[in-house]
Every structure is written in C-alpha cells, then in structure tokens.
Structure 1
Amino acid sequence: MQKADAQQPPWLALFSICLAAFLVPMAMAAVNLALPTIALDLHIDAVYLSWVPSAPLWGSVVLMLPVARLADLYGRRRIHLYGLALYAASSVVVAWVDQIEWLLFFRVLQGLSSSFIFATAMAMVATLAGSERRGMFLGIVSTSVYLGLTLGPVAGGWLTELLGWRSVFWLPVPGILLALVLVLRFVPTTPRTQQTNEGLSFSQRLDLTGSLIFALCTSCLFFGVSGLPDLRFAGVLFMGIVLCWVFVRHQRVAKAPLVRIDAMRQNRIFTRSLLASVCMYGASFPVLFILSLYLQYIQGLSPGEAGSIILIQALLMACVAPVAGRLSDRYEARVIATSGCGMFVLGFVVLFFAGMDSPLWQIQMGLCFLGIGFGLFSSPNNNAAMGSVDPSRLGIASAMLNLARTAGNMFSTTIMVVIFNYYFGEKVLQPEDYPQLLVVVKIAVLLGGAYALAGGYFSLTRGRMR
C-alpha cells in the first residue's frame, strides 16, 4: 500500500476520517437497543448490564491525553490507524464471547481504541483544512458524529431483531477497515513534533507520571459519579477531585507536560472555548433523557413516537453545523457560537412552559431551537479552539475538547441523578407521580438554560480570532 500523498484531494481525506467518525459513535449508540437481548442471552443482572454501555466511556477517557501527546510526538495518522485496527479487532472478537466479563473487557478495548481515533481526528482535519476551511471541515466531522449517534439506536434495533445482538458489534467492522485503507491512502502523514529537549528520555517526553495521575484522576471521577449518591462513591469522587489538583500541580513542574497549564491559562480563546463547551454539553446531555420520559409518561407516546420527535434536534444540528463552521471561517466565531447559545436558551424557554396537556408542536418547536442552537455553537467553538493553539499541540487540543464534552456530560448527569433520587428514590413511576415528574422536567430545563447562559458568557468573552 503506497503512502498517502499530500497532494491528494482534501475531500477524499476528509471522507476517510468522517467514515470512522460516523461508524464508531453509531456502533456505540446501537448497543443500547441490544441491552435487553444481551441480558437474556448471557444471563446477567442489571448491575453488569449497566456496565455494557459505560465500560467504553471509561476506556475512551482514561488514556485520552497520553494518546493525544503520543500522536503529537510520533504522528497523528499513525495513532489514528492503530485505533482503527484495534477497534476492528476488538469488535470482531465479540462474535465468540459468551461471558459478560469478556464482553466488558472488549468493550473497554473499544473505548481505548476510540480514544486513539477521536484524539487525532479533529487535529488531522484541522491540519488538512488549513485556516481557510477549518471551520467547515470541523463542522462536517461534527455532523458525522451526530448522524452516527442519531442513527445508532435505529440500526441497533434492526440488527438485534434480524441478526442477533452480536451483529451490532461486528457489522460495522467492514466500514472501519475501509476507513483504515482510505486513511492510509488519502490522508497525508503528519510530521513528528520537533523536540526542544533532545536529551529527555521517552518517559519524560511522554510524561508517564502525569499520564498515571491523569488515569487515576479520571477513573475516580468516572466511578465516583456513576455510584452517586452512595457515600462510598462520594469519597471516590472526592479523591478524583484531589487527584485533579495533583495533576495540575505536576503539569506545572514537568519537563515535558501533557498540558502546558500556564500557556493554556494565557490562551484566553482556547480556555474560554473549553469552558463554553463544558457548559453547552452539560446543557445538552440531559435533554434526550428528560424529554423521553416526558413524552412517554406524561404525553403517553410510544418509544418509537417519542424517538421520532426527539430526532428533530439531532437532524437540525447535523444540517446546521457545517454551515456554521463555514461561516466561522469568514466571520468571528464567537459571534456565531454565542448566537447558538442564545438560540439554545430560547429552546429551553419554550420547553419550560410545556405542561401536562401541551401540544406536541410546542415540544417540536423547542427541539428545533435546541438543534439549530447547538449546530451554530459546536463548529465555530471548535474552530476557535483549534485555531488558537500551536500546530504541534493540535492533538492535545483535540483531546481537551473531547474531555470538555465528557466533563459536561458527567456533571449534568450527576445533577440529574441527585434530583431524581430526591423526588422518586427507587419508586416505579405511576400516573400519580406524573405531576412531580413534570416538576423535575422543569427543573432540568431551568438548569439547562442556566448552563447555556454560562456557555454564552464564556463564548462571548473569549476574544477575537482575527
């Protein structure tokens, strides 16, 4: 196989990266529809079953920064290819799994391989596009991810019903292998980062100590959040917060840190873009969950009917993101992204006034505002962040954006768990509980609006790109 040529058409290279960016999230989301069948086939309880979708999330986070640093040091294309190969291999092996422990092991491997893929994808696209088309190209990648997440549950239901739950894992493999071949053929090799400290050992260049602290920190945060409100897990969460402080302290004195803390603090555009991302993903993540309950319990819709309504948000976001990214190549990203935050707030205002007998068009209107708003926000925000860092650190910047998304998701999930436990505990929802459920929906919508307002503040005050 010949090496990728730098003169190849950039659209073919972009398609090569987007193919995996579509297939991996789709496969991850599709598993949720196969969970009941997996439980019956492997004879597992609810606790084990809950880890089937959670295990790859932990795997994708725990090595995100070290992998991104390796990509910056030794070539992003190489690390991306390793991720594609590992993802394909771990997915194929699931066809022979008959024990839940092995299934969880390979799910963790899928998560680790996805960190190889997504820690490098945006960095490669940013390099490929240059400053003239960076926003548009990043918008197309975002669209690929959201289309995958949107179509995943539909594909998962069909595959599980027609071919069995294992097909959810192995059927995307040919597409992943095709992506590997296309990346090898069309994506140019990224040069290795020139080392300013040539005498440093490998462990110092990679900062193995910082990598270990980061892995422990993210693990404690992840498992602590997943076990709330149990006090034992609250202690694990507190340990994770302490390790975060230790990690930051270590990065400030390390010879070759994973994250240059002082440089990041001085980079107002990048820092505020990260904070805006945390807030907006925190606002967005609970929407699907809380509206799914509202539509099925209070409005009395079937799961399919509720899903088709919620689909509006994802489809509009996928349509708007590339356009917004292209606009951010020409105009100030903060203006476009902040207008998206405002549109997001407007969507929450519409949803807040939904009641027990509200017409469905009101929910659909609110979801339209949310979809357009997030589409206007995501690509310009990523464009501003990636455009503000040195090209030699694009891998780390890409990883930090992925971590910001995860942090927002985890934070908002924790708040929702606490609220649900306060109002309902372990009760099974009955019609007499629906008025309280509506109160919970309104609280979630209010919190989402507050997060979006905070995201708009950070977006507006990030500074000018040009």
Structure 2
Amino acid sequence: MESKNKHSILFAITTTQFAVPYMVSGIAVALPAIGRELGASAVGLSLVESSYIAAVAMLLLPVGRLCDMFGGGLIFTIGLALYQLITLALGFVHDMEHFVLLRLFQGFAGSMMVSPGMALLAEAYPPEERGKAIGISVTGIYLGISAGPYLGGMVTTMFGWRWVLFTGLVPCLAALWLSVRGLPMRFSRRTEGGFDWLGAALSVSGIGMAVFGSSSFDEPYGVYWLGAGLAAVAGFVVWELFCTHPLLDMRLFRGNRVFSFGNMAQYINYTATFGVTFLLSVFLQYGRGMTAHEAGGILVIQPLTMAVLSPISGRLSDRLPTRLLAGTGMLLSISGVALGSFIGLDSGLPHVVSVLLLVGVGTAFFATPNMSSIMGSVGPRHLGVASAMTATMRTVGMTSGMILITMVMAHMLGQNPVTSQNIDLYVKSLQYSLMGFTSIGIPGILLAYRARNGHTG
C-alpha cells in the first residue's frame, strides 16, 4: 500500500478515535446536569453509559464478519455518517427515555466504526510498523477522553450539556472527510461462506438482555432478564463451536495463547477500570461539591496520562516483549483501582489524583502492546474478526463493568437519584464496586504476563 494512502487511513481512523471518545467522556462528566434536567435516577444515569456501550458490543462481531466478507472502508464511513446524525438528534431530546433510546442507536452506529478500525490499520501497515501505528491511533482515543472531561465540563458549565454533543460534531466532520478521502470504499466479496444469522441473534440478544436485566436488578424480573442474557451468550459460544461459517472462529483460541490470553486480559482490564471515571465524576460533583468543569479538570489526569504515554508504549512494543509491557501495565492499573476502593467522604484530592495516575499509566502500557500482539497473532484472512474481537472484549468489558456498577447502585440506592442526603450510600457503592473490580483484575494480570508464543495462521 502506498505511503500516502496508509497515512490517510491512519489520520482518518485517529481523528475518529478522538471525536467519539471526546463525546462519550464529555457526556460522562455532564451526567449530573443531564440527570437534573431530565429527572433521571442513579440507575437511569448509569444507563446513559451502559446502553451506548452495550449497543456497540451487540454488533461488533456481526460487523467484523461483514468486514472480512466485504471490506471495512465503506462500513466505517457509513457508520460515521449515521453517528453524526444521531448525535445531532440527541442534542434536542427533552426526556430520559428518548435520550437512552438514541444512545442505543448511537452505539449501533459506533460499532460500524470500532469493528473495522484496527483491521484497516493492520492491512495498511507492515508488522514492523504496526505497533507504532496502533499507538498513534490509541493516542487519538486518549486525547479524546482527555479533552472530554475538561472541555465537556467547561462547555456544560458555561453553555449546557447539549453543547458537548454539538461541539463534538466538528472533529466528526473532519473524520468523515478524511474517511471519504483515504479509506477504500469497495464493497465486493472477499471471502467464501455465508453469514451466521443465528450466532448474530444470540450475541445481540444476550448482551441486550443482560444490560436490561442489570438495570432492574432490584426487581425479580431483572434477575430473570439477566439470567436469560447470560444463557443466550452461553448458547452463542456453543453454537460457534459447530457453525460452518461462524461470526467468531473458535479455532483462533486453540493453540494461540497470544490471541486467547490477550483477549481475556483485554476483557478483564476494561471490566475493572472503565467505571473509575464514572464513579469519580459523580463523587467529585456530589461528594465534593465541584462543578462539572472543576470535576473535568481533575478527571482529565487519567486520559491525558494515557495520551502522553501511548505513543511511547507503541514504539516499545515493536522492540520489547509485549507480554512484559502489558502485564506490568495491568498490574499498575489494577493497583490504582484497589487504591480507589479506599476513597471515603473524607478523602482528599491527592487520593483521587493518585488513583487516576495509576490507572492512566497502567492502561497506557497495557492497551497498545496487548492489542498489537493480538493483531499480529492471526493471518490476513482473520484480521477483521481479530479487530472485532479485541473491540468486543474491550466493549463487553466496559459493559460488564457498568452492569456491575448498575447492580450495586440498584441494590444500594434503588431508583433514587444521588443527593447530598444519600451520598454516604453512593460512596459505599463506589467502594464495593472497586473492591469487586480489584478481585476481578488480579487473574487478568497473570493472563497478560503469560500471553506469548502465538502463531500467525
């Protein structure tokens, strides 16, 4: 591939990687303002995040399979265009029910960008440059996450939360222009075999029911929905073992420790760390009385640390054993989560900042080396599925983390909003959630260190 073309692909994907996280993290800081205006409960606020992430997770594998079958450039661009239209519509919503529903559709469009992203980069760059390219694209993610809390908090304080969405459309338009200019727009058959409709139905319904059930976990029907979702996910795994043309080729896990252990570590890492920003955002604003702008100025520490260190991590992953970088990174991030479980109403800002720094440094040195090693462990015909799988593990991990937080919130607070009167119950929810995430994260550290000796079949 020509140098100019591959650089255009990198710039298009990196710009998109910035734009979407900017809005996601900006909305996270604006959640208290959204909740006050739309009359949302604590569980309703968590659904703003979990519904979006769950929607992305639902379609990642089906979209990944379509990318392997027909190519990812056109799918990526269509998803980006739809994302912008839905984002614009979100800025005019006046009730929580429609807001959550549109966030769901926004997540569906987001999956069309997330799933092909790493595959397009892996196809464009040779193995000796892949770590550096992935590091640059991951930097875009963390720059977006960095700008979101600070700029999103400032915009929310000065102009209102709706302008977080409107300002986020500017980099999205730039990303769309770069996508049309640089990405391959062919939509022609590239692989043999059909589409796994039953597998798609099981994975989509399983994740959807699990998220819905977790939001109503304090009610008997919520437990039933959660159980049905987990049963559907289990059915998906069993079906994929026997399907002729599966969404997820289970043979990729056999004898390939880089792929299997790396993806399991990816899932565990994001399950354990993703909810930290959400939990601390609400704590700083309700427990510390900060404005959204002030809270964003604190929360920006974590993603800004990731943005600064990710290019360094990417370059190191082209030279050093990726399992050592990824394992050490995960050890640091889980240590930060453990430290966060000791936060109380009397905790000072140095405690919060230490948590954000540890999680930020650890994630930067985990994410890029782990992703680079996973993408290098499979052959060209599996790049689309491998890209979708890494994104699925990341997104399902985020979803799982938010599901666990939602369950704890539902148990501790019910459907009540967070107020100064029940902030002590919220802090207990934060502590219990982070204790659980610490326990979940310990096996992931071991998996990250042991992910080696993969193949390129």
- TM bin, normalised by shorter chain, reads 0.7 to 0.9
Aligned ranges 1:349-428 → 2 under 5 Å: 350-351=339-340, 359-420=348-409
2:325 to 336, 339, 342: 336
2:302 to 313, 316, 338: 313
1:147 to 131, 143, 146: 143
2:107 is the counterpart of 1:111: yes
| Partner Cα distance (1:65, 1:116) in 2 | 10
One-letter amino acid of the structure 1 residue matched with residue 218 of structure 2? P
Given the superposition, is the C-alpha separation of residues 182 and 53 from structure 1 closer, same or farther in structure 2, using an over 3 Å criterion?
Answer: same
One-letter amino acid of the structure 2 residue matched with residue 382 of structure 1? M
Verify the 8 A CA contact 2:323 2:370 in the aligned structure 1. Answer: yes
| Partner Cα distance (2:278, 2:48) in 1 | 18
Given the superposition, is the C-alpha separation of residues 281 and 216 from structure 1 closer, same or farther in structure 2, using an over 3 Å criterion?
Answer: same
Query: Aligned-pair distance for 1:24?
Result: 1.6
| Partner Cα distance (1:254, 1:303) in 2 | 49
One-letter amino acid of the structure 2 residue matched with residue 288 of structure 1? T
2:82 is the counterpart of 1:82: no
One-letter amino acid of the structure 2 residue matched with residue 409 of structure 1? M
| Partner Cα distance (1:14, 1:328) in 2 | 18
2:266 is the counterpart of 1:277: yes
| Partner Cα distance (2:92, 2:344) in 1 | 49
| Partner Cα distance (1:440, 1:94) in 2 | 29
* Structure-2 residue corresponding to 1:268: 257
* Structure-1 residue corresponding to 2:7: 11
| Partner Cα distance (2:97, 2:336) in 1 | 42
1:173 to 169, 172, 175: 169
Verify the 8 A CA contact 1:72 1:192 in the aligned structure 2. Answer: no
- TM-score normalised by length of structure 2: 0.85
Verify the 8 A CA contact 1:6 1:187 in the aligned structure 2. Answer: no
Verify the 8 A CA contact 2:271 2:401 in the aligned structure 1. Answer: yes
| Partner Cα distance (1:32, 1:271) in 2 | 31
Verify the 8 A CA contact 1:68 1:119 in the aligned structure 2. Answer: yes
* Structure-2 residue corresponding to 1:230: 219
Verify the 8 A CA contact 1:19 1:175 in the aligned structure 2. Answer: yes
Query: Aligned-pair distance for 1:407?
Result: 2.6
Given the superposition, is the C-alpha separation of residues 351 and 171 from structure 1 closer, same or farther in structure 2, using an over 3 Å criterion?
Answer: closer
* Structure-2 residue corresponding to 1:202: none
Question: Gaps spanning 5+ residues in structure 2: where?
Answer: none
Q: 1:337-372: CA deviations, max 9, x gaps?
A: 011122224434554566665553344234322211
1:131 to 120, 123, 127: 127
Q: Percent identity?
A: 30
2:440 is the counterpart of 1:458: no
Question: Gaps spanning 5+ residues in structure 1: where?
Answer: 198-204
2:240 is the counterpart of 1:251: yes
* Structure-1 residue corresponding to 2:67: 71
Q: 1:206-241: CA deviations, max 9, x gaps?
A: 122222222212211221222223221111111111
Given the superposition, is the C-alpha separation of residues 367 and 256 from structure 1 closer, same or farther in structure 2, using an over 3 Å criterion?
Answer: same
Q: 1:19-75: CA deviations, max 9, x gaps?
A: 11111222233344566776787x766587765555433432222211111111111
Verify the 8 A CA contact 2:261 2:451 in the aligned structure 1. Answer: yes
Verify the 8 A CA contact 1:207 1:258 in the aligned structure 2. Answer: yes
Verify the 8 A CA contact 1:334 1:464 in the aligned structure 2. Answer: no
2:271 is the counterpart of 1:287: no
Query: Aligned-pair distance for 1:130?
Result: 2.0
* Structure-2 residue corresponding to 1:120: 116
Q: 1:160-218: CA deviations, max 9, x gaps?
A: 56666554434433432332221232335689664345xxxxxxx11222222222122
Verify the 8 A CA contact 2:322 2:370 in the aligned structure 1. Answer: yes
| Partner Cα distance (2:88, 2:277) in 1 | 30
Given the superposition, is the C-alpha separation of residues 285 and 104 from structure 1 closer, same or farther in structure 2, using an over 3 Å criterion?
Answer: closer
1:186 to 182, 186, 189: 182
| Partner Cα distance (1:358, 1:44) in 2 | 29
| Partner Cα distance (2:217, 2:75) in 1 | 35
Q: 1:314-349: CA deviations, max 9, x gaps?
A: 211121122112111112110100111222244345
How many residues in Structure 1 have an aligned counterpart in Structure 2? 453
One-letter amino acid of the structure 1 residue matched with residue 177 of structure 2? V
Query: Aligned-pair distance for 1:268?
Result: 1.9
| Partner Cα distance (2:275, 2:91) in 1 | 33
Given the superposition, is the C-alpha separation of residues 300 and 425 from structure 1 closer, same or farther in structure 2, using an over 3 Å criterion?
Answer: same
Q: Which secondary structure does the structure 2 equivalent of 1:262 belong to? A: helix
Given the superposition, is the C-alpha separation of residues 311 and 52 from structure 1 closer, same or farther in structure 2, using an over 3 Å criterion?
Answer: closer
Q: 1:407-447: CA deviations, max 9, x gaps?
A: 3223333433444555555676668974x766655544433
Given the superposition, is the C-alpha separation of residues 374 and 28 from structure 1 closer, same or farther in structure 2, using an over 3 Å criterion?
Answer: closer
| Partner Cα distance (1:49, 1:433) in 2 | 15
Higher relative contact order (CA 8 A, sep 6+): 2
| Partner Cα distance (2:407, 2:170) in 1 | 42
Q: Which secondary structure does the structure 2 equivalent of 1:206 belong to? A: coil
Given the superposition, is the C-alpha separation of residues 163 and 234 from structure 1 closer, same or farther in structure 2, using an over 3 Å criterion?
Answer: same
| Partner Cα distance (1:51, 1:447) in 2 | 20
| Partner Cα distance (1:96, 1:359) in 2 | 38
| Partner Cα distance (1:165, 1:437) in 2 | 23
2:237 is the counterpart of 1:241: no
One-letter amino acid of the structure 2 residue matched with residue 117 of structure 1? M
| Partner Cα distance (1:328, 1:34) in 2 | 36
Q: Which secondary structure does the structure 1 equivalent of 2:126 belong to? A: helix
* Structure-2 residue corresponding to 1:200: none
Query: Aligned-pair distance for 1:93?
Result: 4.7
Given the superposition, is the C-alpha separation of residues 252 and 355 from structure 1 closer, same or farther in structure 2, using an over 3 Å criterion?
Answer: closer
* Structure-2 residue corresponding to 1:201: none
| Partner Cα distance (2:173, 2:26) in 1 | 19
Verify the 8 A CA contact 1:332 1:464 in the aligned structure 2. Answer: no
Given the superposition, is the C-alpha separation of residues 447 and 106 from structure 1 closer, same or farther in structure 2, using an over 3 Å criterion?
Answer: closer
Indicate the larger mover: 268-277 or 302-311.
302-311
